[in-house]
Amino acid sequence: MTDVLHNREILLGVSGGVAAYKAADLCSRLVQRGAKVTVIMTESANQFIGARTFEALTGRPVYSHAFEAQEHFQGEHIGLARRAELAVVAPATAQTIARLAHGMADDLLSTTLLVVTAPVLLAPAMNCDMWAKPAVQRNVAQLRDDGYTIVGPEEGWLSCGQIGAGRMADPGSIVGVIEAILSRKGPGGQSERGQ
């Protein structure tokens, strides 16, 4: 039986938080299973992990700038969105969640996700007090209503020294959700998100 991830095009968005290092683990797991992974990093993600890590893992360029064409001259946001069979944002910070919930397009990741018609999976990661805020919960509820899949966050020790909900879901758990989504979708099939 062929692995459901083999030769599947996955867009991995990495936003800026301490959990960005877990995105490298997630990326590695996907590539080892045969997925073709393209990474978009937000400007703040570059403060936590380097693009070269993802370039080494994927064998592909990492994208960060909306107006610097590397591969798709009609716009990276168009080309990357069209290629993706699934998009995952890990970690999804409060800032990224707010951008998506409000339809903002002020960086390459948010602009690309507005174009994506494939399923989108978000793995939130932030301080537990931030996660509990009504504004964040409203944004998450809006994204669920819009058809996004949310995995996590998990409870545990956070980098701020607190214990609570806010840890990015384990990369293995995220891979499991990705497999479930792609199993329903089928190679080259249409998205379940109606946008």
Domains and CATH numbers, the chain: 9-185 (3.40.50.1950)
**Does the annotation count 27 as an active-site position?**
no
C-alpha angle with apex 180: 51 to 110, nearest 5 degrees? 40
Residue 25: its pLDDT value, please? 96
pLDDT of residue 191: 43
Residue-wise pLDDT tens digits, 122-157? 999 998 889 999 999 999 999 999 999 999 897 776
Residue 190 has pLDDT above 50, yes or no: no
Please indicate, yes or no, whether the overall pTM of this predicted structure exceeds 0.85. yes
List 78, 114, 128, 160, catalytic entry:
160
| Per-residue pLDDT at 76 exceeds 80 | no
**Range 164-190 average pLDDT:** 83
Residue with tokens 């994208």: 63
Q: Alpha-carbon Rg of the chain, whole angstroms?
A: 15
